[in-house]
Amino acid sequence: MVIRPERSELLMPAGDLQKLKMAVLYGADAIYLGTPDLSLRTKSAFTLEDVVEGVQFAHKHGKRVYLTLNLFSHNKDIPKLEQYVETVRKVKPDGVIIADPGVFQYVKEMAPDLELHVSTQANICSWLSVKFWAEQGASLAVLAREVSFSELVEIREKCPDIKLEAFVHGAMCMTYSGRCLLSNYMSERGANQGNCANSCRWNYKVHMRLKDGTIKEIELNEHTKDMYEFLLEEGAREGELMPIEEDERGSYILNAKDLCLMPKLDDYLALGVDSLKVEGRNKSQYYVALVARAYRMAIDDWYADPESWSPDKYMAELDTVQSRGYSLAFHEGRLTNHAHNYESTSTMAEWEFAGLIKKVEEDAFILEVKNRIEAGDVLEFVSPTSRETIFLRIYEFIDSTTGDVTEVVNAGQKPIIRVPFSWFDQEDLEQLRFCYPEMSIIRKERPLTKDQWDRLKFDKESSKIELGQGSEILYEKRRDALVTSLEDANKERKFKTPRLGVEGCCGRGCNGCLIFWQDPAYAKARQLMVDKKQGEMLDKNSRGKGVVAETA
């Protein structure tokens, strides 16, 4: 019998051990993670030893951990399953996330003591599918992002005896979740193997091939539309001709905004959705900590006083985290043009990751710097235990090892600086130590260009319209202003690194790009990846440019 929790849990992702600990410290009820083997996490930095330590850390703090086993298995994967399942059992997770029916049945038979969760990769969109998995022995079903809230209400009503998990925050796929083939086609990186290249967010241009074989680049806009016109006709919509339009920047025709259901979170809590899931296994420590903090405060406040709950202050907190703009996605049942960003694909925010507290000494914080900080910048210390933050204007930077003092620090040099407690002349020192333990986040305002400011204003108006509060006229003005400022910015833009060919490859052997799998320079790295044990990471001497040098 499945025991449902009394309160909805906040479920956060973790791409490495430190992010797991940050998620725990900043308010997650549960964390999901996986090693690079047999899960959709080829970029995961977890070794099996890290997983064991992470589970122990979470359990010590009263939190749950779910391990991912959500690959779609090929024959070559099956021999690894026995070893993986035995390893997982020793780790003692609170659940295993599975997508493949064959893998589900295998784990059910070989490890009946493990709680089985059905992954979003199974694309569960109806109460009939939820009921099926419940009868197979699943204790929790992760619903597809495409499930609308009205559908979720019906699923909850018809399936009261199984835990339901719904995505509330994170990146959106341009097609049916996890089913895109663009990445495979463009870069031989499988989206269903956790290695999506995000080809949907790339910049595309239209070209025309002339009869003599020459190829011309064409800019389609209001100035050239009378000269020629290109139209698309979908096979089942005969006679319905759709124009193709782009400007000199190209087109981001498939670029979805990020999911953010904070404005509707009270509906999900009132319905009794058991697990509220945040996407972001490859996101930064800053993202994990601050998104967890925002949702933790929102959830706790709703349970304390649901009648007067409002999302505004929690949205202000989420706005300090970089995003592609926020959207309600499929909450109302279908996507609109406001769920996509056709003008820009970058992530941005008015704030950025300044650093984190690496160590708390008797008389100072030791800070690990994450972005450039200059004398006069104001740092905001964001506590994992208190809702109040502390601002500190900093005028000099003391190297924690040498004691050298400078007026600027750059993250590329990986500086560790010392911030004496004497600089916090308005704070109680004991309270300061308690509220800001190791791994506390520090942020600062980020200088933005005009096009970036215009993007943020445009995103804001788009979000308002989805909530029925914005203006289409103002939306169009914001869009036009953004297009103009992007045009101005791109006139002077120059790439500092090669874009194409072997020169453009990072050389890290990331189990992904076309260059890595075909170029002879990476032969040794490919062999190492085939032979490595489950959960084993390639050391710095056996991957990247070192491998290229040895095999060239």
Radius of gyration of the chain (CA): 25
Q: Is 23 helix (H, G, I), strand (E, B) or coil?
A: helix
Residue 390 domain flag: yes
Q: Could you read off the pLDDT of 439-453 as tens digits, one per residue?
A: 999 999 998 999 999
Do 361 and 278 lie in one domain? The reply is: no
Helix H or strand E encompassing 409: strand 408-409
Q: Tally the domains of the chain.
A: 3
- Answer whether 384's CB lies under 8 Å from 293's CB: yes
What pLDDT, on a 0 to 100 scale, did the predictor assign at position 478? 93
Q: Tell me: do 289 and 358 sit in the same domain.
A: no
pLDDT at 74: 82
Does residue 272 form part of some domain? yes
Is 340 inside any structural domain? no
Mean pLDDT of 233-251: 56
H or E element, residue 266 = helix 265-271
159 and 260: one domain? Answer: yes
| Residue 239, in any domain of the structure | no
CATH code at 99?
3.20.20.70
Asked if 360 and 303 sit in the same domain, the reply is no
For residue range 371-421, list pLDDT tens digits in order. Answer: 999 999 999 999 999 999 999 999 999 999 999 999 999 998 889 999 999
Helix (H) or strand (E) holding 30: strand 30-33
Neighbouring residues of 71: CB distance < 8 A, sequence distance ≥ 6: 38, 39, 40, 77, 99, 100, 103, 192, 193, 194
Query: For residues 424 and 390, is the Cβ–Cβ distance under 8 A?
Result: yes
Most confident of 135-144, 337-346, 473-482: 135-144
Q: Among the residues of 335-428, which ranges form H helices?
A: none
Higher per-residue pLDDT: 488 or 363: 363
Residue 141, domain extent: 9-170+256-309
148 with 21, same domain: the answer is yes
62 φψ region: left (φ > 0), alpha (ψ -120 to 50), beta (else): left
The closest alpha carbon to 14, from 366, 438, 39, belongs to 39
Mean pLDDT of the chain: 83
Whole-number Cα distances in Å, 111 to 32, 77, 244: 19, 18, 53
Structural domain includes residue 475: no
Q: Are residues 369 and 275 in the same domain?
A: no
> For residue 58, is pLDDT > 70?
yes
Q: Are residues 381 and 507 both part of a single domain? A: no
Structural domain includes residue 382: yes
Judge if 302 and 387 occupy the same domain.
no
Backbone angles phi, psi at 534, to 5 degrees: -60, 135
Among 445, 479, 494, which residue terminates a domain?
Answer: 445
Q: Who has greater pLDDT, 486 or 157?
A: 157
121, burial (CB in 10 Å: exposed 0-12, middle 13-18, buried 19+): buried
Say whether pLDDT at 544 is over 60.
no
* 307-319 pLDDT per residue, tens: 999 999 999 999 9
Q: Give the highest mean pLDDT range of 148-157, 407-416, 421-430.
A: 148-157
| CATH code (residue 383) | 2.40.30.10
- The answer to whether residues 164 and 18 belong to one domain is yes
Place of tokens 């999911």: 259
Domain end residue (candidates: 396, 424, 445): 445
Please determine, for residue 518, whether its predicted confidence score (pLDDT) is greater than 50. Answer: yes
Average pLDDT of the residues in 241-260: 62
Average pLDDT score over residue span 191-219: 59
Does 494 reside within a domain? no
Q: Are residues 46 and 131 in the same domain?
A: yes
**What single string gives the DSSP state of each residue in 35-56?**
-SSSSS-TT----HHHHHHHHH
Lowest-confidence segment of 64-78, 86-100, 376-390, 530-544 by average pLDDT: 530-544
Q: Which residues have C-beta within 8 Å of that of residue 329, sequence separation ≥ 6?
A: 145, 172, 256, 259, 261, 335, 339
Rounded to whole angstroms, the Cα distance separating 483 from 457 reads 12
What are the strands, taking DSSP E only, across 181-316? Answer: 207-209, 215-217, 231-233, 241-243, 258-260, 275-278
pTM across the whole model: 0.80
Same domain, 299 and 361: no
Tell whether 282 and 140 lie within a shared domain: yes
Residue 457 scores a pLDDT above 80: yes
* Domain boundary residue, one of 309, 328, 343: 309
Q: Which residue has the tokens 């010392």?
A: 418
* Placement of tokens 């925002």 in the chain: 294
Q: Give tens-digit pLDDT for 283-303.
A: 999 999 999 999 999 999 999
Distance, in Å, from the CA atom of 182 to the CA atom of 191, rounded to the nearest integer, reads 9
Confidence of residue 483 (pLDDT cuts 50, 70, 90): confident
The answer to whether residue 335 sits within a structural domain is no
> What percent of the chain stands above pLDDT 70?
74
In angstroms, the CA 510 to CA 68 distance is: 19
How does pLDDT run across 31-41, given as a tens digit for each residue? 999 876 656 55
